[in-house]
Structure 1
Amino acid sequence: MAPAALPGLLPLCVCLLLTPGLAQAGKLLVVPMDGSHWFTMRLVVEKLIQKGHELVVVVPDVSWHLGQSMNFTVKTYKTSHTLEDLNHHFIIFSNVHWKTRMHSLVPLSWRSSMSVFDLYFSRCRSLFNDKKLVEYLKESSFDAVFLDPFDLCGLIVAKYFSLPSVVFSRGVFCHYLEEAVQCPAPLSYVPRMLLGYSDAMTFKERVRNHIFHLEEHLFCPNFYKTGLEIASEILQTPVTAYDLFSHTSIWLLRTDFVLDYPRPVMPNMIFIGGINCKQGKPLPEVRCLSFSS
């Protein structure tokens, strides 16, 4: 059994990893997710490269933003869908959910709008069908996998190669990530992600929070069904969502405890601030005008 003080050293390890001159450069395998998720993750990837770490990013050959103007090693694999397929499924998804307030998971269970996530999950099968790429990843001796958990492929890759996983996210659907890392989340005090409640819930909101939690247990197996089937196929054993998410070594929590509601966290959950898309520009100077007569 590891010493009790070991979990407390994880934040220190992360700080050392990101600080130049204090740690040996590492070799990271990056498995990103396309879209706005990549905009935020890329900032960290570029900063790690500046610190002297070696990064290899694995991306599909069909994407919106992945593989564009990258100054680091990129490995691509062929997918079974086209860019037109990706655009078509995303338009269906966005048309449904821009018009629906997320106070219930019932709209999310509409299968037609969920097909875009099945498309994301199917990419992992394409990755492992590329035997040459898999052999390269196996022989490269990576120190860890840096991943976005919203797409299950990074978690599958980490488990397949038995590598530590560094998760970069604010959270995932159904709170699987919090539950898998055994983070306390009492329903009377910690609101579910899509409800938008604070930690100071009224009695009515707490009841709704419990009902929403039950809805998640009905919806989530359907949402992750394709991804878990692919994971079971790749790992050659039955796999649950908890099997994948519990493999998390360090969670870089993309939020700020000052702006968020207070909640329990585990020693391997590191607050890194609410990085969002592009870094903000300095505010323009404001001149003080005199209105005196």
Structure 2
Amino acid sequence: MSWRSKLHPKVLLPFLGCLSLATAGKLLVIPMEGSHWLSMKEVLAELSKRGHEIVVIAPDSKMLIDSSGMYELKMYPVPFKKEEMEELMRSLSANCFSEEPFLMRFLNTWDNFRKSSAMFQTSCSSLLYNKEMMKYIKESKFDAIFTDPLTPCGQIIALHFSIPTVFFLRGIPCAIDIHAAQSPDPPSYIPRMFSLNTDHMTFPQRVKNFLISISETFTCSMIFSPFESLASDFLQKPMTITQLLSHGSIWLKRLDFVFDYPMPVMPNMIFIGGINCGQKKPLSQVSDWLGKLCAIASCALFCNSSLLFELKAKILW
């Protein structure tokens, strides 16, 4: 007699009573503008289908974040206009395709990142010190916060109200996401972002990779320092960007080792690289053409096979 048959229902009943049913939750979403939001919106559509209650908080100068039946949209005032953000986004996009010398493109990119960081920090500050919005978040008792850590405003709110955080991202400059999750990150093996290196580097490439990793400390400290100051003031304790993001519960990364180099990751990092791939739909005209072609080929094959039986056998050896 197996051990399974010896288990009495009275023994199993207490264990079954400990199991909880899966229920829909209440999700607070603090997104980032631009293409980041377009990717996140697809996830919200699926969560909405599963019965989750979703609340999206965005500035009133939003560009792509719009109202929808999938979620409730709440807005807060910011001291800049929508046109200013659109101009900054256009400048960032234009610089990517600029044919200016490398030094000029680097300086322009640096200036645009500095301006965008200051704008997002201002937006975050407007939300954190909006008493009405903070009261709403506190009283709503959200189960989790779904946010893009590139602008860590959502994580500041999560720490303030002790709410679990789910990060949705592809990557953060200077490998801050890797360091925050405490994943191994040796510069001799892990290529730095924008270095164009792979995980199989020559010695000169390793030297280049190491120098880039050193320069990242200065570069990203300038970009994220406004958020570090804001987080330290709001949370009433010193806080770096790495310490801030280290409290994330789950990292949903839009990566796939089919396209990206392999790297060591932590258990709470989940790769969802194909989440933005659309469902393929057959083309009606092509399907009809292929159907006719298959019919003709099948008919020709049948006719040829019938003719083979009429041929006389002849020994060739």
Give the 3-state SS of the residue equivalent to 1:229 in structure 2. Answer: helix
Please give the residue correspondences for 1:138-287 in structure 2 after superposition, counting only pairs within 5 Å.
Answer: 138-276=138-276, 279=278, 281-282=280-281, 284=283, 285=286
The amino acid across from 1:221 in the alignment is: S
Instruction: Tell me, in whole angstroms, the C-alpha distance in 1 between the residues paired with 2:207 and 2:232.
Output: 36
Give the 3-state SS of the residue equivalent to 1:57 in structure 2. Answer: strand
Instruction: Tell me, in whole angstroms, the C-alpha distance in 1 between the residues paired with 2:195 and 2:231.
Output: 29
Q: Is the 8 A contact 1:34 1:66 kept in 2?
A: yes
Structure with more relative contact order (C-alpha pairs < 8 Å, separation 6 or more): 1
* Max Rg structure: 2
Instruction: Tell me, in whole angstroms, the C-alpha distance in 2 between the residues paired with 1:269 and 1:259.
Output: 17
Instruction: Tell me, in whole angstroms, the C-alpha distance in 2 between the residues paired with 1:96 and 1:62.
Output: 23
The amino acid across from 2:281 in the alignment is: P
Once the two structures are TM-superposed, the CA of residue 68 in structure 1 deviates from its matched residue by 3.7
Once the two structures are TM-superposed, the CA of residue 89 in structure 1 deviates from its matched residue by 2.6
Change beyond 3 A, Cα 1:91–1:258: closer
Once the two structures are TM-superposed, the CA of residue 117 in structure 1 deviates from its matched residue by 2.3
Match of 1:119?
119
The amino acid across from 1:49 in the alignment is: S
Instruction: Tell me, in whole angstroms, the C-alpha distance in 1 between the residues paired with 2:104 and 2:201.
Output: 17
Q: Is the 8 A contact 1:28 1:145 kept in 2?
A: yes
Once the two structures are TM-superposed, the CA of residue 76 in structure 1 deviates from its matched residue by 1.0
Unpaired runs of at least 5, structure 2:
1-19, 297-317
Q: C-alpha offsets along residues 21-62 of structure 1, whole Å, 9 cap, x if unaligned? A: 972211111111011000100100110111111111111111
Q: C-alpha offsets along residues 231-280 of structure 1, whole Å, 9 cap, x if unaligned? A: 2222222221112110111001211233322110111011122333x725
The amino acid across from 1:127 in the alignment is: L
Give the 3-state SS of the residue equivalent to 1:146 in structure 2. Answer: strand
Unpaired runs of at least 5, structure 1:
1-20
Deviation larger for 27-36 or 84-93: 84-93
Change beyond 3 A, Cα 1:60–1:102: farther
Match of 1:8?
none
Once the two structures are TM-superposed, the CA of residue 93 in structure 1 deviates from its matched residue by 3.2
1:86 maps onto 2:85 in alignment: yes
Once the two structures are TM-superposed, the CA of residue 103 in structure 1 deviates from its matched residue by 11
The amino acid across from 1:214 in the alignment is: I
Give the 3-state SS of the residue equivalent to 1:226 in structure 2. Answer: helix
The amino acid across from 2:27 in the alignment is: L
Match of 2:301?
none
Match of 1:18?
none
Give the 3-state SS of the residue equivalent to 1:163 in structure 2. Answer: coil
Q: Is the 8 A contact 1:105 1:215 kept in 2?
A: no
Change beyond 3 A, Cα 1:281–1:101: farther
Change beyond 3 A, Cα 1:158–1:102: farther
Q: Is the 8 A contact 2:253 2:269 kept in 1?
A: yes
Match of 2:61?
62
Instruction: Tell me, in whole angstroms, the C-alpha distance in 2 between the residues paired with 1:249 and 1:141.
Output: 17
Change beyond 3 A, Cα 1:211–1:64: same
Q: Is the 8 A contact 1:59 1:67 kept in 2?
A: no
RMSD: 2.7
Change beyond 3 A, Cα 1:38–1:105: same
Match of 2:42?
43
Match of 1:73?
72
Deviation larger for 105-114 or 143-152: 105-114
| TM-score, length of structure 1 as denominator length | 0.83
Instruction: Tell me, in whole angstroms, the C-alpha distance in 2 between the residues paired with 1:155 and 1:174.
Output: 19
Residue identity (%): 41
Q: Is the 8 A contact 2:92 2:109 kept in 1?
A: no
The amino acid across from 1:26 in the alignment is: G
Instruction: Tell me, in whole angstroms, the C-alpha distance in 1 between the residues paired with 2:48 and 2:90.
Output: 34
The amino acid across from 2:119 in the alignment is: L
Instruction: Tell me, in whole angstroms, the C-alpha distance in 1 between the residues paired with 2:146 and 2:206.
Output: 35
The amino acid across from 1:244 in the alignment is: L
Q: C-alpha offsets along residues 203-252 of structure 1, whole Å, 9 cap, x if unaligned? A: 22111111110110111110112122222222222221112110111001
Change beyond 3 A, Cα 1:61–1:212: same
| TM-score, length of structure 2 as denominator length | 0.77
